[in-house]
Structure formats: structure tokens, C-alpha cells
Structure 1
């Protein structure tokens, strides 16, 4: 499996399209926005998994204690249910390295 460092450079605009079509129905990114089916992703990078206030996470999400960065998110987006066994996340897998890199580029800029 390739790592984030081996991935093609991310394209923020392409990542925005991916977010809108595959993620926005469950997640918000604006500071102070409400959680949806999934947690608000604002402040994602550098935050420990399972700690966004006001959202109920699966036990496996809390126990793994991952700190979100480009590398951990890149691996997670490939197969969320494998990354966190028992997670409720039912999103489409992002198998293409370019798609994951694009989404990460968008989230890195949009969730700060």
C-alpha cells in the first residue's frame, strides 16, 4: 500500500468536488457547524480521532487514539471500516491515490 508521501500531489479543486459528492451529505467543515450523520470536520488535522465535542463515536474510533494528519487520513480513506473495525462509517471507499490526495488537499485548507 502506498503512503501519503508516495501519493500524487493533491488538487484542492478536485478535492472540493469529491467532498461535495461523497462526503458533504454526512459531514460539515465550517467552524461551529452542527454535526450531521458524521462529525463536523473543522479542526480535523492534529486532533485525536473520536474527540470532536458533541458527537457520539464508535468505541473502536476512540480506542485507536489516532492523531489526524495527511498520512493517517490517507490510510483511513482507503477503507474506513478496516481502519476502525466496528465503525459506523458507511462511506464509499476512495481507492485511487489521486482522489485521496485531492480530498486531503481540500480538507487541509478548508478545515483550519
Structure 2
């Protein structure tokens, strides 16, 4: 009986849906990024490039920002998986990147950050 209950519990845990992305929580995670990166209609390149509409863009190609050779030559195109891997450990994903951030290790916070950032189109307009 105990093994049947344990098996049912393990099966239920295995089929749980993935955690939903939470843009409001992502905005809180973005607070760490804000000192170097901007989003929104008035965003400007600062220490880091603007993050408006970056999903689908080639890494190291944002107009008006001086990227490291490593980023320009990385061959990356930003999608959710690439960003998630990069933000967890930027220097491991792109050795030689100028980004000195140690990384956001918590997968839920990474997903939430992505949900927040994906709200901004290339012009910085926040999409519903």
C-alpha cells in the first residue's frame, strides 16, 4: 500500500506543469540589471546595451553599442534557451564577454526575468 501511494505521488510530481512565467516578479529580478541595461521607449545604451526586443536578434549586433569581440563573434541568436543559459553564467557561455555579472542561477527567476523583458518590443513599447 505504501509503495502504491509513493508511486502515485512520484507520478503526480513528474507530470506537474512547468512553472509559469511571472512578469511582475521578473520586474523585481530586473532591478539587478537596471544599473547596466535599460528597457522602454526612452531606453539608451549605457554600460550594457538596450534590452528592448532582443529575442530573435543576433547577439552583439545592437546598433550604437560597443560589444566585445567575443560577443560579436559568438554566433548566438537570442532566444529563451540561449538567454537562460547566458544569464546563469555569462562568462561561461561567452568567454571574453564584457558582462561582469556573476549570473542569475535560480531558474524560476530567470523565467520571470524573461517574461518581463519579452513585454518590450524593439521600439520599447510595452506589450500587454
Query: Pairwise mapping of residues 7-46 of structure 1 onto structure 2 (< 5 A)?
Result: 8-20=19-31, 22-31=32-41, 33-46=43-56
Divergent runs of 4+, >6 A:
none
CA distance in 2, matches of 1:56, 1:8: 36
Compute the TM-score of the two structures, normalised by the length of structure 2: 0.76
Partner of 1:3: none
**Structure (1/2) with the larger helix percentage:** 1
Question: When the two structures are aligned, how many residues end up with a matched partner?
Answer: 106
Compute the TM-score of the two structures, normalised by the length of structure 1: 0.86
CA distance in 1, matches of 2:121, 2:26: 13
Higher relative CO (Cα under 8 Å, sequence separation at least 6) belongs to 1
CA deviation map 1:52-91 (0-9, x unaligned): 0010101111111211111110111110011110111012
The structure with the largest alpha-carbon Rg is 2
More displaced stretch, 86-95 vs 70-79: 86-95
The question of 1:99 aligning with 2:109 is answered yes
CA distance in 2, matches of 1:110, 1:70: 14
CA distance in 1, matches of 2:47, 2:18: 29
Q: Point out where structure 2 has 5 or more consecutive residues left out of the alignment.
A: 1-16, 123-128
Give the CA RMSD over aligned residues: 1.7
CA deviation map 1:25-63 (0-9, x unaligned): 100112452111000111201100000001010111111
